[in-house]
Amino acid sequence: MCLDESVPSSDSTSHSLTAESVRAFAQEAGFSEAGLVALPHDAESRDADRFEQWVNAGRAGTMDYLKRQSESGAFLRARVATPFPWAQSAIVCLAVYNSDEPLSTETHEWNAAWIARYAWSSRVDAGGKISPSDYHKVLLKRLRSLQANLREEHGSFEARAYVDTGPVVERALATAAGLGWTAKNTCLIHPKLGSFTFVAVLLTSLPVEAQATSPTIPDRCGSCRRCLDACPTGALIAPYQMDAARCISYLTIEHRGTIPPELMEETGRQVFGCDICQDVCPWNRKAPISADPELVARTELVNPTLQWLAALEEGDFERTFNGSPVRRAGFTGLRRNVAVAMGNSGLRDFAPRLQQWVESADAGVRAAARWALDKLTS
């Protein structure tokens, strides 16, 4: 999601951004932490080369939006200057979404599914009513507040705000802005907040005061390889290298159609996203629990039963997940994932439901149901 504002910069004051003021404004807007980096940053060429190599190696799967190029053939996401030549600074903000609910690695009920932690979000209104919240919208609203405060301080400037959907590599900018390091599981790890954080980016035409960029944090993964060893599908092909086409999060959210049988076997009972590589990470053992009223965990999405998810018809799906990140998978995508989870549950009670889904109009659901039914009845 993007806040796209092209504001003439002729009225801008001569004030430059500082890390201290940016962090204060970001926390006032509701973010947990924030950092600042001048553009282009010191590691941009290295990061751009890595991104290009990753895409060219086919690691992006069917996520064609990651492969978009400019008229000159440059990948839009490789360098901020390609789509935004006016950008002089990046403000990167974090919001903690960790909760005190169990980890996926602590869940052993065979009839329970797993929905990724980040997708549990909900908001509590003044009357105590809980409703689903989409972190994209929540964080974009905070970026608007941050941008408004900066405009009062510095005058008019050009800006773009993104939460997961813009032509930027948020993790690389966050690392350059001193908010952590890119871990062996390719997630961003903040030394105090861990990796259960959302990343939001505000690009601006404002310069950064000399020596004001947030200091970078060195890699602290050391010799640990818990994430690599725990990944069921082998998506972490080497330290710091992810093959998205094998990642359970990609398979259950971004991928459309049929999941390869060998990967269905390893997907387990994950029906939307995957937290395994983060759940086993030592840096998340003492990660703080979020007190954010707009990112409260929906308890009904924590270890939901496969029976409940399977009984949802399309209208139920829309009502249950309206305003929730789970809608990204789509109704048929979630049903396909539930079918796979049923096959991996080992519970033959699911066979009648799977027999119905073998006749589904959706090819992905049909293939998953056949695979699951064969596994349960063989």
Taking the chain, what is the end-to-end CA distance rounded to the nearest angstrom?
Answer: 45
Euclidean distance between CA atoms 291 and 96, whole angstroms:
8
DSSP 326: G
Under 8 Å between Cβ of 202 and 146 = yes
| Helices of type H across 155-298 | 170-176, 226-230, 248-249, 261-267, 276-279
Q: What would you measure as the largest C-alpha separation in the chain, in angstroms?
A: 73
Q: Report d(CA 34, CA 219) in Å as an integer.
A: 19
Q: Is 164 a catalytic residue?
A: yes
The C-alpha atoms of residue 166 and residue 65 are separated, in whole angstroms, by: 10
Nearest-CA neighbor of 178 among 23, 365, 345?
A: 23
Cβ–Cβ < 8 Å for 33, 174: no
Task: Give the number of other Cβ atoms within 10 Å of residue 167's Cβ.
Answer: 20
Catalytic residue among 49, 64, 100, 164: 164
Which residues form the catalytic set? 164
